[in-house]
Chain A
Amino acid sequence: MIKILKDYISRSYNWYKENHAKIIFVYIIHLVSYYLVNLPYINIIASLFLFLPYVIDWIVIMILFKPQKDLILKTGIGLFIISYLFVIVHISVALEFLGGMSYIMIGTYVILVIKEIKK
C-alpha cells in the first residue's frame, strides 16, 4: 500500500517537475489576461464575457498540455457525479462552478471532434 502511495507521489512529482514551467506560464497568462480585461474600454467589452480570462486559461492549457480529448469528455461528464453531492447539501456556488466546468469540457470535446465530420 505504502509502495503504491509512494509510486503515485513519485509519479505526480515527476509530472510536476516536467511541467512546472508550463503551470507557472498558465498562471502568468491568467494574471495578464485578468489584468487586461479590467483595463478601461476593454472592460466594457469584457463585461459581456466575464468568463473570458478562464477561457484564455483553458485554451493555453489545451495548447501546452494537449490533454486527450476523451479524458476531457470523461471529466466533463464525471463532474455531474460530483455535482450531485453539492445539490444534496445546497451549495449553489459550487454547482455554478461545476456546471460551467462541465459545459466548457463537453463543449471543448465537441469542438475538437467536430472536424471529424468535415468531408
Chain B
Amino acid sequence: MKKRQIVELLIIVVLGLVPLLWFHGNQVILGHDSGLTLSPISHFLDRLYPWTERFGFGNDQVYAIPGFFIHGLDALIALLGFQLQSVQKIAFIFWFVLPGLTMYYFSSKLSQKLNLKFFVLPTTVLYMFNHFLLQGWFVAERTKFSVYAALPLVMVFLFDWEEKRRSTFKTGLFMALTVFFLNGEASLPLFGGLILSVFAFIEFYLFKGFSRKKLKELGKLIGVFVLTSVALNAYWLFPYIAYILQSYSNAVLQAGGINGVLTWLTYVSQESSLVNIFRLQGIPEWYLNPRHPYAGVFLNNIFLIVIGFGIPIAAFLPLYLIKQREQKEKVIFFSFLALFSMIFIAGAHPPFGEIYIFLINFVPGFVAFRNPFYKFAPALWFSYAILIGFAINYLLQKIELRRKLLTYGLYLAFTLGIILYSYPFLNGVFFDYIKGERSMRVVVPQYIFDFGKWSDSKERLNTKVLALPPVNPDNKVDAYTWGYWSLSPLTSLLTNAPIVNESNFMSTDERNLTEGLYKMIKNNEPGWENLAKLLGIKSFLVRGDFAWDLKGSQTDNPSVYDKTLKSSSNLSLVKKFGAWEVFSFKDDVNADVVTTSKINYLVGDATDLGKIASLPFFDPKEPVYVSSNANKNAQDIMSLRNDLFLVPTCFSCNLQHIFINTDLYIPLITRGSIFYPLIEFKNKLAEKKLVKSPEKVNFYLYDSLRDILAFDKLVFENKDTYLLLLAISDYSKSLNNLDKSLKDYFKTESIDNNFLFEVSEVLGLEKNVVLFKNATNLPSGQVLDTLNKKYSDLKRIKDRIDKNISQTLDETNKKFLVNSNTDAQFEFLYKPKTVSTSWDKVNLTLDNRNLEIKTTQISAQWYALGKISLSKGLHRLIIKYPIENLYTSTASAQVSSLSDVCFSSNAIKAQKGDIYRVSFQHQRLFGSKKFFVRILPVGVKPNPLDARNNVLESASVSDNYRADYSLPEDQSFYLTVCSFPSADREDFASVLELKDINIRKIAIPEVVFYSPSSSKDTVDSNFSKKSQTEYTVSTDPKSMKKIVLLNESFNNNWIMPNAKDNIHFVANGYSNGWIVESANTQVIKYKAQDFVNIGFVLSFIALIASALYILRGRL
C-alpha cells in the first residue's frame, strides 16, 4: 500500500469517528423508526427464531431474520462487555465509515486506472457526508446504510468484470457475498438505487458492443449471482418467501390499497422537482416537517442556495471538460446514471410522474417503492460523488502544473467544504427530528434497565404482562415523559418477556380483546380479571412515566388503572421500578401449555369473551372455543363441550351506519380507457370462479358499487353522454346480476343477517351517490332519465333486503338474533347498560311471543330471566329498552337573540366510543334571527363563526331536532343553543323556544343464553419449553381424546407433528388449541423453525464453499 493511500485511509477512518460527537452525557439513541434496542444480545438471540413473544401474544417474525448481521454486530459489541452507549458509538462508527471504505475502494481503483490524482478523497467524503445519509441517520437507518455501502462494491466488481480483470464466476460470487453481508435486512425497496445502477451498467455494457458472447457472459454472471445469493441467503429466504406470499396483499391493504399508495406518493413527491433533485435536494422530510432541525437553513440561506446550484454545475461540467477517452467514458456513464435515476427519484412529480404512477399501477411489486426519493436516491448520490470527483480532479490537475502547494490546499479545502456543507453531522442535530420537542437522543432512566433485567430473568421470562395504560389505539404511539417516542413498544426493545401492548402485529381479534380488557380495567368492570386470566395475562405493568396526554396520541392517565389494580383483592404489588409498578395475580393463572378433555363453547365472536367473562360463575381456567373462529371440525369440538354460551347479536343497536371507505372502490380505469377491455376480461375471469351463492352476492354487490362510482367519476370528469350511458348500462348489468344472485341466496337455508346488513349498507351508499352526487350534477336529459330507471331497481332491491334483515331501527326495540347450535335448555341472562332504571321485570318478544319476565339479580350487572328452551336454529329476540333522559333541567327553555347568554344543558359524563342522541322541539316565538345548536365538550365555548352547518331552521310551527354525538375521547359534554350573529341592526329580540329536551345514551344491552355442562374436567399443566418455537407436553393416556392448548397467538405454523389426525383450532379467541388422541408425550413446534434451521446450514455451507473457491489460489 502506498503512503498516500495510508494517509487517505487514515483520514477516512478519522472522519468515521464523527458519531462520537453525537452523544452527550448518558444519552443513547432510541425510538422513532430506528429499531435500536436496549438489550442488543437478547434482542439478537430472539431474532434467530421465526417466532417472537416480545409483543405479548406472540408473532411470526421471519421478516426479522435477515437482520442477522445488523443486529449481530450490536450483539457482538455488547458481548465484548461494552455498555449500551458504547455499543451504539462503535456500531455507528462502523456504519458511518463503511460507505466511506467501500467508496474508497471503488474510487481508488478508478483513480489508479484513469490516473486521477485528486479524485479519491472528495469522492469518498461526498459519499460519506451528504444530505441523503443525514436523513437516514435521523432514524439511524442501518438497513439503508448497508445497501448504500454495497453499491460501490457491486459496481467495482462489475467494472472489473467488464475489463476482464476477474472471471464471471468469481464476480458473481463477490457480488452475492456483498449482498449477503450488506443485505438491507432483505428490504427490496432499499435496493432501488442498486438495481438502477446495475441496470444502467447492463445497458452500457451491451450498448458498447453488442454480441451474443457478451450476452451469454452476462447471463452467466446473473445466473451465478442469483444461484449463489439464493444459497447464501437460504437462512431467511425460505421462510421469507412464504411470508411475502402471505403478506403482500395485506401490506398493500395496510397502505390503503393502490389508491392509498398513490395518494401517499403524490404527497411525498410534491417537492421532488427536477431542479431540486439536480441540486441533491427535494428530500420530502425537508418540506413536510415544518420543524425540521436544519432544512430551513439550506432552503433559505442565499449562500447555501448558491452552493446548491454549484453542485449540478460541478457534476455535469466534466461532460464538457474531459476529453480523454477512458475518463470520458466513465463520465458519460455516471451522467447517464444520474439522469436515469432522477426519473425514478421524482416519483409522481412532473414531468415523469405519470410514468411512475403507471409502474405502480401495472407492474407487480412496484408498489413497494412507495417512497421513491429514499429508495432510488443512492444511485444519484453515487454518480454525483464520482462526477464531482472528476470535476475537482480536472481543476486541480490543471492548477498543479503551476502551483503545487495551492493545489493540495484546495484539495483539502474541497474535502473540508463537503463536510461543512453537511454540517449537521458534526453536532448530531438531525436526531432532534422535531426541533425543541422530540429527539432520538434520550437518557433512559435506570429503572427501565432494571425492569428489563428482571423481566428477562428465568422466573419472569415466560410471564405474560399487560402494559398499562394502553397506547392510543388510533396511532399506537408509545411515548414516555423522559423522551422516548416510537410506534415500537419500548418493552419490545427491552426484554424478550411477553409484554402485551396494543400493536399492529396483533390480529383483529387480539386487538378487540385487548381493547375490551383495557376498557374493563379502566372502568373496574366485574370480570376483567377473568378476561385477563383467559388471555394468559399473569401480571400488569403500570407505567407512571407514560406520556399519556401527549398531543396527537392522548390516552388514559395511568393512575386510573393503578387505582383499579390496587383495589383488587386478587392482585398484589410484586415489584416497583421507579415510575413502573408490577402487579400480579395472587392465585394461579393457566400455564403456557395446558391439557384438558373439555372445552367451553361460545356461539358468538371473540369480543363476546369479555361478556361471558363477567358472568359470576365463569371459570377463566377452562378454555373456550369461539364459533366465529370458524373451524371445519366445529362438530368435533362441540362433542367435547363443557358449558355452552350463546351470545346473541344485536344488529345496528347503536343505530349507526357501518363505515365503507368508497375510495377503495373508485376504479382507476373506466369506460373510455384503452385498458378497459382488460378490466372487463379480468372481471369475467373472476366471475367464472364464483360458486357459492353468498360469494356471488358479494361479488356483484361490490361490482355495482364500483360501477356507480365509475359513473360518478365520469360525471365528475365531464365525459360525453355516450360514455355516461355505457357506464349506466354497466351499472344496470351488475344490479341485475346482484338481483338474481340475491334471489338464489334467499332460497338457501342459512341467511346471514350480518351479511344482509352489509349488503343493505352498500346499497344505501349507492343510493347516496345517485341522489346526492350524480342527480345534482347532471343536466336533465337522457342520462338522468336512464339513471332514474336504475335508481328504481336499486331501491327495489334494497327494500327487499331491508324486509329480511333483523335490524334495530329505534332506541326502544333492541333486536337480537339468537343462533342456537343445539336443542338445549338455557339460563336466560340479561345485562342492561342503564343502572338507574329499575329492572325488576323485562318486556321482550321471543320468536313472536310477547313476554314480561320477572328478574333475579345474580351480580352487580347481570339479571337472570329464568330458564328457557331453545331449539337448534335462529331465534328472534326483541327487548323493550326504556329511554333514560340524562338532561336534568327544565323540560323547556327560551333563548333570546338580545341576550349574550346561550341555553346550555347540564354536563353529561361519557366515555370514548359511546353514542349519545340529543333531541328537542324548537319553535320560533318572535323575530327572524338565526340560532345555532352545538354539542361541545365541557370547557369549550360555542363559536358562532364555526356554526354554519348547525343553524336551526326554526319556524313559527314546532319542529324536531335530532343529532347523534359520538365521543372521540373520554369527556363530559353539553348541549348549547345560541343566537347567530347578524350584520343587521336588531330592533327587537328574536326568541326561540325549546321543548322536550332529551339527551340519552344509545345503550347496547347484553344477553347471554347459558347451558351448563353435566360434567367437568380438570385443567392440567405438564409441559416443558425447549425454546420459543418448541414445547413438549405430557397428556393423560387414559382418556380417549385430549385438548391441548398453547397460549401463543394462533398460527397455522404451530403444529403437533406426532399427533396424527389432530384438529387445530383457535382457542380463547386468539391462541392455539388441538384435539389429539391421547399419548404420553407430544411435541408442539413452530414449523417455520425447520426452514430456518435448514436454511442456516445451507447458508453456512454456501459461505464456506464461496470462501474456499475465492481463496483457493491463495491458500
Residues of A within 8 A of B (CB): 40-41, 44-45, 47-51, 70, 73-74, 76-77, 80-81, 83-84, 87-88, 92, 95-96, 98-100, 102-103, 106-107, 109-110, 113-114, 116-119
- B584 is an interface residue with CB less than 8 A from chain A: no
Let me know if A107 and B320 touch, CB within 8 A.
Answer: no
Let me know if B674 and A76 touch, CB within 8 A.
Answer: no
Shortest C-beta distance, B512 to chain A (Å), equals 44
CA A98 – CA B277 in complex, angstroms?
Answer: 13
**Chain B: which residue is nearest A52 at the CB level?**
B351
Q: Chain B interface residue count: which class?
A: 35 or more
- B558 is an interface residue with CB less than 8 A from chain A: no
- B545 is an interface residue with CB less than 8 A from chain A: no
Segment at the A interface, from B308-316, B439-447, B654-662: B308-316
Given A103-B339, A113-B319, also A96-B275 (CB < 8 A): yes
Shortest C-beta distance, A31 to chain B (Å), equals 20
Shortest C-beta distance, B921 to chain A (Å), equals 55
CA A80 – CA B277 in complex, angstroms?
Answer: 12
CA A113 – CA B333 in complex, angstroms?
Answer: 11
Contacts of B354 in A (CB 8 A): 47-50
Let me know if A73 and B320 touch, CB within 8 A.
Answer: yes
CA A50 – CA B351 in complex, angstroms?
Answer: 7
CA A74 – CA B316 in complex, angstroms?
Answer: 10
Residue of A45, A51, A81, A109 near B309 (CB, 8 A) is A81
Given A48-B358, A95-B273, also A106-B335 (CB < 8 A): yes
Given A50-B350, A50-B354, also A102-B275 (CB < 8 A): yes
- B328 is an interface residue with CB less than 8 A from chain A: yes
**12 A–B contact pairs at CB < 8 A?**
A40-B672, A45-B674, A48-B354, A50-B351, A87-B305, A88-B305, A98-B275, A103-B278, A106-B316, A106-B319, A117-B329, A117-B332
- B155 is an interface residue with CB less than 8 A from chain A: no
Given A103-B339, A103-B342, also A117-B328 (CB < 8 A): yes
Judged by DSSP, the binding face of B is helix
Let me know if B674 and A44 touch, CB within 8 A.
Answer: yes
B338-374 contacts to A (CB < 8 Å): 339, 342, 350-351, 354-355, 358
Given contacts A99-B277, A106-B319, A110-B336, 6 further A-B contacts (CB under 8 A): A77-B313, A96-B275, A102-B275, A103-B342, A116-B332, A117-B332
CA A106 – CA B204 in complex, angstroms?
Answer: 18
Shortest C-beta distance, B433 to chain A (Å), equals 25
Top 8 A-B residue pairs of the complex, sorted by shortest distance between their CB atoms: A99-B275, A99-B274, A119-B209, A51-B351, A48-B354, A117-B329, A95-B275, A44-B674
Shortest C-beta distance, B878 to chain A (Å), equals 56
CA A84 – CA B312 in complex, angstroms?
Answer: 12
Judged by DSSP, the binding face of A is helix
Contacts of A92 in B (CB 8 A): 273
Shortest C-beta distance, B449 to chain A (Å), equals 49
CA A9 – CA B355 in complex, angstroms?
Answer: 44
- B1115 is an interface residue with CB less than 8 A from chain A: no
- B208 is an interface residue with CB less than 8 A from chain A: yes
- B207 is an interface residue with CB less than 8 A from chain A: yes
Compute the total of residue contacts between A and B using a CB distance below 8 Å.
Answer: 101
- Chain B CB within 10 Å, residue with most, of A76, A95, A110: A110
Contacts of B673 in A (CB 8 A): 44
**Chain A: which residue is nearest B353 at the CB level?**
A50
Given A51-B351, A77-B312, also A109-B319 (CB < 8 A): yes
Residue of B312, B328, B350 near A116 (CB, 8 A) is B328
B166-225 contacts to A (CB < 8 Å): 204, 207-209
CA A102 – CA B306 in complex, angstroms?
Answer: 17
**Chain B: which residue is nearest A114 at the CB level?**
B332
Let me know if A102 and B274 touch, CB within 8 A.
Answer: yes
Given A48-B355, A84-B309, also A77-B316 (CB < 8 A): yes
Contacts of A110 in B (CB 8 A): 319, 332, 335-336, 339
Contacts of B306 in A (CB 8 A): 84
- B989 is an interface residue with CB less than 8 A from chain A: no
Contacts of B335 in A (CB 8 A): 106, 110
**Chain B: which residue is nearest A96 at the CB level?**
B273
B274-301 contacts to A (CB < 8 Å): 274-278
Let me know if B208 and A118 touch, CB within 8 A.
Answer: yes
Contacts of A83 in B (CB 8 A): 275, 309
Contacts of B245 in A (CB 8 A): none
- B317 is an interface residue with CB less than 8 A from chain A: yes
Residue of B317, B328, B333, B674 near A41 (CB, 8 A) is B674
- Chain B CB within 10 Å, residue with most, of A87, A102, A107: A87
Let me know if A77 and B320 touch, CB within 8 A.
Answer: yes
- Chain A CB within 10 Å, residue with most, of B273, B277, B316, B342: B316
Shortest C-beta distance, A88 to chain B (Å), equals 7
Let me know if B358 and A80 touch, CB within 8 A.
Answer: no
CA A110 – CA B318 in complex, angstroms?
Answer: 12
Contacts of A109 in B (CB 8 A): 319
**Chain B: which residue is nearest A102 at the CB level?**
B278
CA A96 – CA B339 in complex, angstroms?
Answer: 16
**Chain B: which residue is nearest A95 at the CB level?**
B275
Shortest C-beta distance, B209 to chain A (Å), equals 4
Contacts of B319 in A (CB 8 A): 73, 106, 109-110, 113
B967-1026 contacts to A (CB < 8 Å): none
Let me know if A118 and B209 touch, CB within 8 A.
Answer: yes
Contacts of B208 in A (CB 8 A): 117-119
- B302 is an interface residue with CB less than 8 A from chain A: yes
Contacts of B320 in A (CB 8 A): 70, 73-74, 77
Let me know if B273 and A80 touch, CB within 8 A.
Answer: no
CA A48 – CA B333 in complex, angstroms?
Answer: 27
Given A50-B351, A84-B309, A98-B275, also A73-B674 (CB < 8 A): no
CA A87 – CA B273 in complex, angstroms?
Answer: 12
Contacts of A87 in B (CB 8 A): 275, 305, 308-309
CA A49 – CA B317 in complex, angstroms?
Answer: 29
Let me know if B312 and A118 touch, CB within 8 A.
Answer: no
Let me know if B309 and A106 touch, CB within 8 A.
Answer: no
B930-962 contacts to A (CB < 8 Å): none
Let me know if B355 and A49 touch, CB within 8 A.
Answer: yes
- Chain B CB within 10 Å, residue with most, of A47, A88, A103: A103
**Chain A: which residue is nearest B275 at the CB level?**
A99
Contacts of B328 in A (CB 8 A): 113, 116-117
Let me know if B316 and A73 touch, CB within 8 A.
Answer: yes
